[in-house]
Structure 1
Amino acid sequence: MPQLILTAAGLAFGSAALLDNAELQLDPGERVALIGRNGCGKSSLLRVLAGLGALDDGEVWRAPGLSVAYVAQEPPFDPDASVFEAVVAGMGDISALLAEYHAVSHALGDAGGSDASAAAQHEALLVRLHELQQALEARDAWAFEAQAERVIQRFSLNPEARVGSLSGGQKKRLALAQALAISPEVLLLDEPTNHLDIAAIEWLEELLIGSSASLLFITHDRRFLDRVATRIVELDRGRLASFPGSFTEYQQRKERMLADEAVHSAKFDKFLAQEEVWIRKGVEARRTRNEGRVLRLEHLRRERAARRERVGRVSMALDSGEQSGKLVAELEGVSKRFGEGEKALTVVRNFSCRIQRGDKIGLIGPNGAGKTTLLRLILGELAPDGGSVRLGSKLQVAYFDQFRTQLDEDATLADVISPGSDYVDLGGEKKHVISYLGDFLFPAQRARSPVRSLSGGERNRLLLARLFARPANVLVLDEPTNDLDIETLELLEQRLQDYAGTLFLVSHDRTFLDNVVTQTIAAEGDGVWREYVGGYQDWADWQAQQRVEQEAQRRADAAANSAAARQTPAAGKTTAAAPATPRSKLSYKEARELEALPARIAELEAEQKAIAARLEDPSLYAGSAQDAQQAQTMSSRLAEIDDELLELLERWETLEARA
Structure 2
Amino acid sequence: MNLVNLESVSHAFGPKPLLADVSLGLEQGDRIGVVGRNGGGKTTLISIIAGTLKPDSGRVTHTRGLRVGTLSQRDQFDPDTAVKDIVLGGRAEHEWAGDPAIREILANLLGDIDLAAPAGALSGGERRRTALARLLVEEHDLLILDEPTNHLDIEAIAWLAGHLVQRKSALLVVTHDRWFLDAVSTRTWEVVDGSVERYEGGYAAYVLAKAERARIAQAAEDRRQNLMRKEIAWLRRGPPARTSKPKFRINAAEALIANEPPVRETVELLNFASARLGKTVVDLEDVTLHAGGPGSGPLVLDRCTYQLGPGDRIGLIGVNGSGKSSVLRLLSGTVEHDSGRVVRGKTVRLAHLSQELAELDPTRRVLETVEEIRKYVQVGKKEWSASQLLERLGFRGEAQWKVVGDLSGGERRRLQLLRLIMDEPNVLLLDEPTNDLDIETLTELEDLLDAWPGTLVVVSHDRYFLERVADRCVALLGDGTMSMLPGGVDEYLERRAAGQALSARAASGAAGPAEQVRPDSQPVQDAGLSAKELRELQKELNRLERQIDKFGEREAKLHAQMAEAASDFERLGTLDAELRDIAAQKEAAELEWMTLAERLDQ
Match of 2:482 in 1: 529
Match of 1:177 in 2: 133
Q: Structure 1: how far apart are the matches of 2:327 and 2:359?
A: 21
Q: Identify which of 361, 383, 396 aligns with 2:314.
A: 361
Match of 1:260 in 2: 216
The 3-state SS of whatever aligns with 1:524 is coil
Q: Given that residues 2 and 25 in structure 1 are in contact (C-alpha distance below 8 angstroms), is that contact kept between their aligned partners in structure 2?
A: yes
Task: Please report how far the alpha carbon of residue 42 of structure 1 lies from its aligned counterpart in structure 2 after TM superposition.
Answer: 1.0
User: Aligned-residue CA RMSD in angstroms?
Assistant: 3.9
Q: Given that residues 33 and 202 in structure 2 are in contact (C-alpha distance below 8 angstroms), is that contact kept between their aligned partners in structure 1?
A: no
**Bigger Rg over Cα:** 1
Moved more, 146-155 or 478-487: 146-155
Q: Given that residues 313 and 441 in structure 1 are in contact (C-alpha distance below 8 angstroms), is that contact kept between their aligned partners in structure 2?
A: yes
1:402 aligns with 2:355: yes
1:238 aligns with 2:191: no
Task: Please report how far the alpha carbon of residue 615 of structure 1 lies from its aligned counterpart in structure 2 after TM superposition.
Answer: 13
User: Aligned pair in 2 of structure 1 residues 84, 145: CA closer, same or farther (>3 Å)?
Assistant: farther
1:294 aligns with 2:245: no
User: Aligned pair in 2 of structure 1 residues 9, 424: CA closer, same or farther (>3 Å)?
Assistant: farther
User: Aligned pair in 2 of structure 1 residues 154, 394: CA closer, same or farther (>3 Å)?
Assistant: closer
Match of 1:208 in 2: 164
Provide Cα deviations, 1:394-432, integer angstroms capped at 9, x if missing partner.
4322121223333334433223322498x3445697533
Q: Structure 2: how far apart are the matches of 1:465 and 1:333?
A: 35
Match of 1:38 in 2: 38
User: Aligned pair in 2 of structure 1 residues 236, 3: CA closer, same or farther (>3 Å)?
Assistant: same
The 3-state SS of whatever aligns with 1:435 is helix
Q: Structure 2: how far apart are the matches of 1:318 and 1:221?
A: 27
Match of 2:184 in 1: 228
The 3-state SS of whatever aligns with 2:259 is helix
User: Aligned pair in 2 of structure 1 residues 83, 415: CA closer, same or farther (>3 Å)?
Assistant: farther
Normalised to the residue count of structure 1, the TM-score between the two structures is 0.70
Provide Cα deviations, 1:9-34, integer angstroms capped at 9, x if missing partner.
22233444321222221111211001
The 3-state SS of whatever aligns with 1:525 is coil
Match of 2:266 in 1: 312
User: Aligned pair in 2 of structure 1 residues 251, 353: CA closer, same or farther (>3 Å)?
Assistant: same
Match of 1:471 in 2: 424
Q: Structure 2: how far apart are the matches of 1:368 and 1:462?
A: 27
1:11 aligns with 2:11: yes
Match of 2:414 in 1: 461
1:277 aligns with 2:230: no
Task: Please report how far the alpha carbon of residue 205 of structure 1 lies from its aligned counterpart in structure 2 after TM superposition.
Answer: 0.9
User: Aligned pair in 2 of structure 1 residues 534, 615: CA closer, same or farther (>3 Å)?
Assistant: farther
Match of 1:83 in 2: 83
1:335 aligns with 2:288: yes
Matched residue pairs, number?
Answer: 521
User: Aligned pair in 2 of structure 1 residues 286, 218: CA closer, same or farther (>3 Å)?
Assistant: same
Provide Cα deviations, 1:296-354, integer angstroms capped at 9, x if missing partner.
234334433xx45543242333342x3344212221222224689x9973221221112
Q: How does 1:189-200 map to 2 (within 5 A)?
A: 189-200=145-156
User: Aligned pair in 2 of structure 1 residues 430, 78: CA closer, same or farther (>3 Å)?
Assistant: farther
Task: Please report how far the alpha carbon of residue 478 of structure 1 lies from its aligned counterpart in structure 2 after TM superposition.
Answer: 0.3
The 3-state SS of whatever aligns with 1:277 is helix
Q: Structure 1: how far apart are the matches of 2:391 and 2:64?
A: 47
Q: Given that residues 109 and 156 in structure 2 are in contact (C-alpha distance below 8 angstroms), is that contact kept between their aligned partners in structure 1?
A: no
Match of 2:300 in 1: 347
Task: Please report how far the alpha carbon of residue 213 of structure 1 lies from its aligned counterpart in structure 2 after TM superposition.
Answer: 1.7
The residue type paired with residue 331 of structure 2 is I
The residue type paired with residue 196 of structure 1 is L
Q: How does 1:365-404 map to 2 (within 5 A)?
A: 365-404=318-357
The residue type paired with residue 434 of structure 2 is T
Q: Structure 1: how far apart are the matches of 2:229 and 2:14?
A: 31
Moved more, 363-372 or 170-179: 170-179
Q: Which runs of 5+ in 2 are unaligned?
A: 501-513, 515-536, 557-579
Provide Cα deviations, 1:223-251, integer angstroms capped at 9, x if missing partner.
21221111111122222122122322222
1:161 aligns with 2:117: yes
The residue type paired with residue 42 of structure 2 is K
Q: Which runs of 5+ in 1 are unaligned?
A: 89-94, 106-141, 548-560, 562-608, 643-659
User: Aligned pair in 2 of structure 1 residues 73, 510: CA closer, same or farther (>3 Å)?
Assistant: same
Match of 1:565 in 2: none
Q: Structure 1: how far apart are the matches of 2:457 and 2:191?
A: 33
The residue type paired with residue 438 of structure 1 is E
The residue type paired with residue 46 of structure 1 is I
Task: Please report how far the alpha carbon of residue 197 of structure 1 lies from its aligned counterpart in structure 2 after TM superposition.
Answer: 1.1
The residue type paired with residue 387 of structure 2 is I
The residue type paired with residue 231 of structure 1 is R
Q: Structure 2: how far apart are the matches of 1:411 and 1:334?
A: 39
Task: Please report how far the alpha carbon of residue 539 of structure 1 lies from its aligned counterpart in structure 2 after TM superposition.
Answer: 6.0
